[in-house]
Amino acid sequence: MESSVELQWPTVADEQLRADVHRVLHAVAELGGAIGYAVPPSRTETDSWLDHVLMLVGAGDAALVLAVLDDRVVGTGLWRRGPKPIFAHYADLERVTAHPAGRGRGIGRLVTAALVDDARKAGIETLALGVRGNNHGAIELYEQLGFQEWGRLPNVIEVGAERFDDVRMFLELGRDPHVLLRGSSPGGPGWSPRRS
């Protein structure tokens, strides 16, 4: 019988967790995964990142989920709240990964769907992410989960001498019915008329 992937939501890190998270992030970056590292990260870098994320988790400003298979971390992902106070209802989806040995098991979908549900429960109204333009599989997954593209910065992600688009996507998670959506309409705090 094949093992199933389980999700864990850590709030503290022990030595095993640090080693497992490093192993996943290093392996994904080594294969060119667009997770924020120009070169595969050192253990010091991933430990520092994990400590910072867990500090945000403790403050209620993030949630980290780990996909675990046979007691080993095989995937990661987090949502991180925007800078406070005016962006506290917004979060970025970050570092959604699947270890190369665990690919094909739906880890990315499982992690992303869990993060969407958790962000909604935490009161996040809009979840956003950036994905490398050539990562068609990830873009398709995000679209299947309801994300929509809102823009793209052409050729800004550097991988050696190559450049790729940074595709920006978002998902509306719902709002209190009393929230007034003004968008870009004139009026309201900070409003100014055009000068032309």
Q: 40 Cβ partners below 8 Å, 6+ apart?
A: 26, 27, 29, 30
The two three-digit tokens of residue 3, written as one number:
């093992």
Q: Which pLDDT band holds residue 2 (cuts at 50, 70, 90)?
A: low
Residue 43 belongs to some domain of the structure:
yes
Structural domain boundaries enclosing 56: 6-127
Residue 156 belongs to some domain of the structure:
no
Residue 163 belongs to some domain of the structure:
no
Residue 24 belongs to some domain of the structure:
yes
pLDDT tens digits, residue range 79-138? 999 887 888 899 999 999 999 988 888 999 999 999 999 999 999 999 999 999 999 999
Residue 134 belongs to some domain of the structure:
no
Which helix (H) or strand (E) segment is 129 a member of? Answer: strand 126-132
* Under 8 Å between Cβ of 7 and 110: yes
Residue 70 belongs to some domain of the structure:
yes
| Greatest extent of the chain over all pairs of C-alpha atoms, in Å | 70
State the average pLDDT for the chain.
Answer: 93
3-state secondary structure of 196: coil
In residues, how long is the chain?
A: 196
Cα 99 from Cα 76, distance rounded (Å): 9
pLDDT tens digits, residue range 27-43? 999 998 889 888 899 99
Residue 49 belongs to some domain of the structure:
yes
Q: What spatial distance separates the first Cα and last Cα of the chain, rounded to whole Å? A: 70
pLDDT tens digits, residue range 140-172? 999 999 999 999 999 999 888 999 999 999 999
pTM of the shown model: 0.92
Cis peptide before 85 (omega within 30 of 0): yes
Residue 91 belongs to some domain of the structure:
yes
**Which CATH number goes with the domain that contains 92?**
3.40.630.30
**How many domains does one find in the chain?**
1
* Under 8 Å between Cβ of 85 and 29: no
